[in-house]
Structure 1
Amino acid sequence: MYQPPSSKSGTTGINRLIASAFGVRLVSDVPERLTRSPIPYRPNARRRARIDAIRDSGVLFIHVPKNAGTSVCHQLYGTQIKHETVRYYASVAPDVLDLPSFAILRDPVCRFRSAFAYARSGGTRDRAVARPFNARYRAFSRIDDAIDHLASARSPFDVDHIFRPQSWYLNDAQGACRVDRLVPYHEIDRLGQITGLDGLTDLPRLNRSSAPAPLVLSPRQEAFVKDFYAEDFALWEEITSPASRPCSGRRATS
């Protein structure tokens, strides 16, 4: 006897069709794809509410995945602003790029190790890996499985946010970082002092993965990571080199 699909499975199927029509895996990536195309796009009410929360706070935080951003969003906005990029904001709400802005940047190798562990576990108790990637990521048995996945990707849209380059979120269409302050991940405990925002002094640690056994990359694997995340390494070296300031102004002119 035929059983109609449940509303949840039906919604999943519809989302899959919508995402496929725009050449992405995640339906939440459709707005990002549209803002990178000539097709006009206006955010829906939920997205407009998140932008209003940013305006009300007076500061823009770019939430780079796997960099403790869930906790920062909770403290700053009382909600999650998702993993929107500088290019998304430049298209739908360019005024927010005029606000003081910051992001947390992480050593790319350490971030890759964290993303791999997160992928294999399917997420954390607070958040799961997105459905289109969940089964494949949980099936990763070795680091090379993740590397093969990244090597075969035609664009960042072909991988989940946890594996996308950090620079993808921070750079504008010309490849310039549009964030005022890049805070090294190891300085999170000083985030309130660095940004001058009292609410970030004692951060709750949300969406935190349990500490996995240290992952050791072979020289070949580390060379791939350094090549794949070359722009991230350039940013990382800039803010952590002995000659650099802890946070440097990097607002670009358009």
Structure 2
Amino acid sequence: MPSYSTLVQEKIPESSVLRPVPDGIPQSLLCRLFRVQQFNDIHERAAELHLHLPLGKKRLKRLECIRSAGALFIHVPKNGGTSICNQLYGCSMMHQTFRYYRHVTPELSKELPSFAIWRDPVERFVSAWAFARKGGTSTVKIHPSVNVLYRSFHTLDEAITHVESQSSPYDVDHVFRPQAWYICGKDGQLEVDNLFPMEQIAQLPELVPAMRGHVIPHLNQNPHAIEVTALQARRIRKLYQQDEALRP
């Protein structure tokens, strides 16, 4: 899977995205134009291309929740973020990158302190595979575009091989995308102010002023008992070497 800096070099013809979009245009067509699999990724892709798209009511409401809370939390999937979002914002949040927030609301990304959770890449991948092959959990579902495919992964090796073969983060579901993709800039440098290891989630009320007085429960539980071989671990760490470099 390429780095973010490689990804943004992909060019989309201006004639494809700068023309007014008629009402009722199929989502599938927009996805093809922006070269993404999931419709919600269109806004992320637009941020990379420096294109300003109108934000819907739900997106605007989520931005207001962030502003009211006084802290910007980047919700990296499979890193315990669901419970943090519920405590900090009172609602669930989408898996948007720091770059997205800087694009749609530059003043918010500059003024508010930002943070994210980092998880060991091997532990995170195993959790993602266990999540994906079940189609998600009772509260969070895997995206329909890859649900059938991911349910067909009967072994961890199949999941690793699949992700290794993809050429873009947009080709896989959020759970398999690198952590660095969410929290780093195109130069690979960390963008958030603080990156906490997952083991410190319970201590966040002491570490993040905006979370003082909160208690962090563990929601979206995805129990699994999967043993990883040394070879599998090496493949995963190589695949997510950018994440390894961010280890706090």
Query: Does the pair score TM above 0.5?
Result: yes
Structure 2 residue 208 is matched with structure 1 residue 195? yes
Structure 2 residue 233 is matched with structure 1 residue 222? yes
Map of 1:30 onto structure 2: 42
**Aligned partner (choices 55, 58, 61) of residue 67 of structure 2:** 55
Where 2:40 maps in the other structure, the secondary structure is helix
How do residues 85-104 of structure 1 correspond to structure 2 at under 5 angstroms? Answer: 85-98=97-110, 99-104=112-117
Where 2:162 maps in the other structure, the secondary structure is helix
Shift of 1:105: 0.7
* Aligned amino acid, residue 58 of structure 1: G
**Aligned partner (choices 82, 98, 101) of residue 94 of structure 2:** 82
Map of 1:207 onto structure 2: 220
Q: How far apart, CA to CA, are the structure 2 residues paired with 1:142 and 1:127?
A: 22
Where 2:60 maps in the other structure, the secondary structure is helix
CA deviations on 1:142-190 (whole Å, 9 max, x unpaired) are 0111112111211100000001000100012222111111111011111
Shift of 1:79: 1.7
* Aligned amino acid, residue 33 of structure 1: R
Give the conservation status (yes or no) of the 8 Å contact 1:193–1:201: no
Give the conservation status (yes or no) of the 8 Å contact 1:65–1:162: yes
How do residues 20-169 of structure 1 correspond to structure 2 at under 5 angstroms? Answer: 20-98=32-110, 99-169=112-182
The 3 A distance-change label for structure 1 pair 82 and 200 is farther
More off after superposition, 35-44 vs 147-156: 35-44
The 3 A distance-change label for structure 1 pair 31 and 198 is closer
Structure 2: state its 5+ residue gaps. 1-24
Give the conservation status (yes or no) of the 8 Å contact 1:105–1:185: yes
Map of 1:8 onto structure 2: none
Give the conservation status (yes or no) of the 8 Å contact 2:50–2:103: no
Map of 1:176 onto structure 2: 189
Where 1:27 maps in the other structure, the secondary structure is coil
Pairwise CA RMSD = 1.7
TM-score (norm 1): 0.83
The 3 A distance-change label for structure 1 pair 199 and 136 is farther
CA deviations on 1:199-220 (whole Å, 9 max, x unpaired) are 56412322121x211x223333
Q: How far apart, CA to CA, are the structure 2 residues paired with 1:20 and 1:103?
A: 31
Q: How far apart, CA to CA, are the structure 2 residues paired with 1:18 and 1:42?
A: 14
The 3 A distance-change label for structure 1 pair 199 and 19 is farther
Q: How far apart, CA to CA, are the structure 2 residues paired with 1:222 and 1:20?
A: 34
Taking CA–CA contacts closer than 8 Å with sequence separation of 6 or more, which of the two structures ends up with the larger relative contact order? 2
**Identity rate, percent:** 41
CA deviations on 1:1-20 (whole Å, 9 max, x unpaired) are xxxxxxxxxxxx94334323
Give the conservation status (yes or no) of the 8 Å contact 1:122–1:129: yes
TM-score (norm 2): 0.84
Q: How far apart, CA to CA, are the structure 2 residues paired with 1:218 and 1:83?
A: 30
Q: How far apart, CA to CA, are the structure 2 residues paired with 1:32 and 1:60?
A: 17
Map of 2:10 onto structure 1: none
More off after superposition, 42-51 vs 67-76: 42-51
Give the conservation status (yes or no) of the 8 Å contact 1:75–1:200: no
Where 1:50 maps in the other structure, the secondary structure is helix
How do residues 226-241 of structure 1 correspond to structure 2 at under 5 angstroms? Answer: 226-236=237-247, 239=248
